[in-house]
């Protein structure tokens, strides 16, 4: 019999704040974390805005000797993990270290480190390249470093499925605990690629918003005047453990994770199919895995990137899946406030979804000033909504046509529920 898996700890580092409470309060207040880029000179760039994490200091979360040589995405992961473990009260020691693992998602890894060392290579030669170049750059060093810092010696892996990476990591961690490969998992996603090459690359694809004069209004999912997404950065970490263990130690339970769906579009490198077929199959798979029906979903945290095609095609997909309920279920894109955290999006948005269930507040979709007539669902425009949510879905769809959907349920201690 598959084991029930619950969420007992949360950690966040986002453009909205450092820590769960600061991020959540800004989110439900409808505040934007988008501002002018400060990491580099954007004079020659079409896009000059992003969702930067402000006021983060690595040395507050890492040993001093590691802080300076740890890539930003790794530091975010360690910080959010420290928060999540403290929140959960879960202690890792010799009695359980082999039964708790780390599984996180990251789309691009240490792009800043790569840029820096390529410049050194070209200007000063190969002997001047840092010995920390490779360890700082590779995506799997995030879960690796987390396991070293906190002593988690169970399953350890990293997922790299573009913008679906965080959600795939969360779903895979769910399976690991559900099937008995570990008793607890540290999971989520992180990203920190507000860099020259990242912004230049997405600009070349015409994927980013260029609403530079109004940063806070630039990310506008489902709005008729949306003109592209905003790159964000940060990390969302969750502690998963068996229900049995959580109850035994009297842990606070945010929500239960009950469903996970995956699919592939098999259509295009960057564009989803117009009918949203891959997203349809992904959401349907998650609902089936949870043993639910479409009319039992009370809230959807949409992928909602603020690009023309994604928002339209995801809307079509939700209409296909939810049929007569499509116009009734509240939907929001928290990316309207955080920007798109790429591989970190799924982790952060799963944390937001868990909080929606626990606190009975649905975050808004801000900047929805002029709704696209083809995007005509209930996107909870501009203002958060107080409403009890029993079952919620969160979606992540990535380049290459890779899709992930997760279903969380408000914890119910009735056996079999």
119 is catalytic: no
Nearest to 259, CA basis, from 362, 353, 160: 353
Set 106, 198, 340, 375: catalytic member = 340
C-alpha radius of gyration, the chain, whole number? 20
Angle at 256 between CA 192 and CA 400, to 5 degrees: 40
The whole-angstrom separation of Cα 185 and Cα 85 is: 11
Q: Which residues contact 172 (CB under 8 A, 6 or more apart)?
A: 103, 157, 159, 187
Cα–Cα distance for residue pair 32/15, rounded to 1 Å: 8
Neighbouring CB atoms inside 10 A of 4's CB total 19
SS3 395: strand
Query: Which of 198, 235, 303, 375 is labelled catalytic?
Result: 303
| CA distances, 120 to each of 62, 180, 262, 315, 361 (Å) | 26, 47, 41, 46, 49
Q: Residue 128 corresponds to which tokens in the numbers above?
A: 């001047």
Tokens 């060392």 belong to residue: 117
Instruction: Based on the residue annotation, tell me whether 327 is a catalytic residue of this protein.
Output: no
For the question of residue 168 being annotated catalytic, the response is no
SS3 31: coil
- Structure tokens belonging to residue 116: 């820096």
Q: Which two tokens stand for residue 153?
A: 């010696």
Number of CB atoms found within 10 A of residue 195's CB: 24
Q: Are strands 184-191 and 100-105 parallel, antiparallel or unpaired?
A: parallel
User: In whole angstroms, what is the distance from residue 264 CA to residue 168 CA?
Assistant: 12
Nearest Cα to Cα of residue 348 among 16, 70, 1: 16
Element (H, E) at 66: helix 64-67
In angstroms, rounded to a whole number, what is the distance separating the alpha carbons of residues 282 and 261? Answer: 5
Token pair of 10, please? Answer: 């949360």
> For residues 209 and 212, what is the distance between their CA atoms, to the nearest angstrom?
8
| Placement of tokens 């966040």 in the chain | 12
Marked catalytic residue, from 163, 235, 282, 375: 163
Q: Which residues are catalytic?
A: 163, 303, 340
């Amino acid at each position: 019999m598959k084991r029930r898996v619950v969420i007992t700890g949360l950690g966040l580092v986002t453009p909205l704040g450092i820590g769960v409470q600061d991020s959540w309060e800004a989110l439900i207040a409808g505040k934007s974390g988008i501002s002018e880029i400060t990491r580099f000179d954007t004079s020659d760039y079409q896009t000059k805005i992003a969702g930067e994490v402000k006021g983060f200091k690595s040395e507050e979360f890492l040993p001093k000797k590691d802080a300076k040589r740890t890539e930003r995405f790794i530091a975010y992961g360690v910080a959010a993990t420290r928060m999540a473990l403290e929140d959960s009260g879960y202690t890792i020691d010799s009695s359980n270290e082999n039964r708790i693992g780390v599984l996180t998602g990251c789309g691009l890894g240490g792009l800043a480190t790569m840029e820096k060392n390529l410049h050194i290579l070209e200007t000063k030669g190969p002997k001047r390249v840092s010995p920390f170049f490779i360890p700082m750059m590779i995506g799997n060093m995030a879960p690796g470093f987390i396991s070293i810092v906190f002593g988690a010696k169970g399953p350890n892996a990293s997922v790299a499925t573009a913008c679906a990476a965080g959600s795939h990591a969360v779903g895979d961690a769910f399976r690991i605990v559900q099937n008995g490969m570990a008793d607890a998992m540290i999971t989520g996603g992180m990203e920190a690629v507000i860099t020259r090459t990242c912004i230049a690359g997405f600009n070349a694809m015409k994927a980013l918003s260029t609403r530079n004069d109004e940063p806070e209004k630039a990310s506008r999912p489902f709005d008729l005047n949306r003109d592209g997404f905003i790159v964000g950065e940060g990390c969302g970490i969750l502690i998963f453990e068996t229900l049995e263990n959580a109850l035994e130690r009297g842990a606070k339970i945010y929500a239960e994770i009950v469903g996970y769906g995956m699919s592939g579009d098999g259509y295009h490198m960057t564009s989803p199919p117009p009918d949203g077929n891959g997203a349809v199959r992904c959401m349907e798979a998650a609902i089936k895995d949870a043993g639910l029906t479409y009319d039992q979903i009370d809230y959807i945290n949409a992928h909602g990137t603020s690009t023309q095609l994604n928002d339209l095609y995801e809307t079509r997909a939700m209409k296909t899946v939810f049929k007569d309920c499509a116009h009734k279920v509240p939907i929001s894109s928290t990316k309207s406030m955080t920007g798109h955290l790429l591989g970190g999006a799924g982790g952060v948005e799963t944390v937001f979804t868990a909080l929606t269930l626990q606190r009975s507040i649905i975050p808004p979709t801000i900047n929805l000033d002029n709704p696209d007539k083809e995007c005509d669902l209930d996107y909870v425009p501009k203002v958060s909504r107080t409403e009890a949510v029993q079952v919620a879905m969160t979606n992540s769809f990535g380049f290459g046509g890779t899709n992930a959907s997760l279903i969380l349920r408000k914890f119910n201690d009735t056996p079999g529920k």
